[in-house]
């Protein structure tokens, strides 16, 4: 199993490469985390308690619910700091891979009666929750959860992956669910997604 990320105090499942069966060649590095204090505060600003308004139904055991983050990173074919039409095309590809993955994960969690949402990589705003207008910083999030490093490029903070450098496309999914519900995804037990074995 691929493990090419860094383990931190918040790590519940270490980084590994996953892919949707429908997109077998498009791998996403993903891991599962509790929210450390700085991220908990930021989550509150970005989602404005939307997760508490979610009606999960009678079967949901509210005492088992935990706020969880699934940071994802894709290795890009181009260094994203560069500019040009080929960079834009690559960003579109990475965007679509993440949007399919985020939708797949969130629909699965929501179908079980739990809350989940994912951040739109273009705007930094939640994809599902309405009325949220505070941008989530993917770079700060990855520094906090994975201890990845970042540097400043003009106005934009750029993340560097320990193996891929700045050829990395970060994007995050959040859930309010029992940890056990998420384990299957990282063990390759959800229909429609697999882990890449190395």
Name the site residues for ligand B12 (rule: CB under 6 A).
Answer: 38-39, 42, 80-81, 83, 87, 119, 121, 123-124, 135-141, 144, 153-156, 158-159, 166, 168-171
Identity of the residue, 38 or 192, whose beta carbon is nearer to ligand B12 in the bound complex? 38
> 151 to each of 7, 139, 160, 163, how far by Cα in Å?
21, 10, 8, 16
User: Helices 85-111 and 179-186 sit at what angle, rounded to 10 degrees?
Assistant: 130
Instruction: Report, in Å, the least distance between residue 60 CB and ligand B12.
Output: 27
Identity of the residue, 8 or 14, whose beta carbon is nearer to ligand B12 in the bound complex? 8
Instruction: Report, in Å, the least distance between residue 29 CB and ligand B12.
Output: 13
Identity of the residue, 76 or 108, whose beta carbon is nearer to ligand B12 in the bound complex? 76
Instruction: Report, in Å, the least distance between residue 184 CB and ligand B12.
Output: 26
Instruction: Report, in Å, the least distance between residue 59 CB and ligand B12.
Output: 32
Instruction: Report, in Å, the least distance between residue 14 CB and ligand B12.
Output: 19
Identity of the residue, 59 or 155, whose beta carbon is nearer to ligand B12 in the bound complex? 155
Identity of the residue, 168 or 177, whose beta carbon is nearer to ligand B12 in the bound complex? 168
């Amino acid at each position: 199993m691929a493990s090419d990320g860094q383990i931190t105090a918040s790590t519940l499942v270490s980084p590994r490469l996953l892919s949707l069966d429908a997109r077998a060649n498009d791998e996403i590095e993903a891991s599962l985390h509790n929210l450390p204090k700085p991220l908990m505060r930021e989550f509150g600003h970005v989602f404005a308690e939307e997760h508490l308004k979610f009606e999960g139904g009678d079967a949901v055991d509210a005492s088992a619910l935990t706020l969880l983050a699934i940071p994802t990173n894709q290795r890009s074919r181009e260094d994203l700091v560069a500019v040009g039409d080929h960079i834009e095309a690559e960003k579109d590809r990475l965007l679509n891979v993440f949007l399919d993955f985020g939708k797949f994960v969130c629909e699965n969690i929501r179908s079980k009666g739990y809350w989940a949402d994912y951040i739109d990589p273009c705007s930094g705003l939640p994809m599902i929750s309405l009325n949220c207008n505070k941008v989530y910083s993917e770079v700060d999030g990855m520094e906090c959860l994975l201890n990845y490093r970042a540097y400043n490029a003009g106005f934009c903070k750029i993340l560097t992956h320990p193996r891929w450098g700045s050829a990395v496309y970060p994007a995050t999914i959040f859930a309010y669910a029992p940890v056990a519900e998420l384990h299957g995804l990282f063990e390759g037990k959800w229909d429609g997604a697999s882990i890449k074995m190395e």
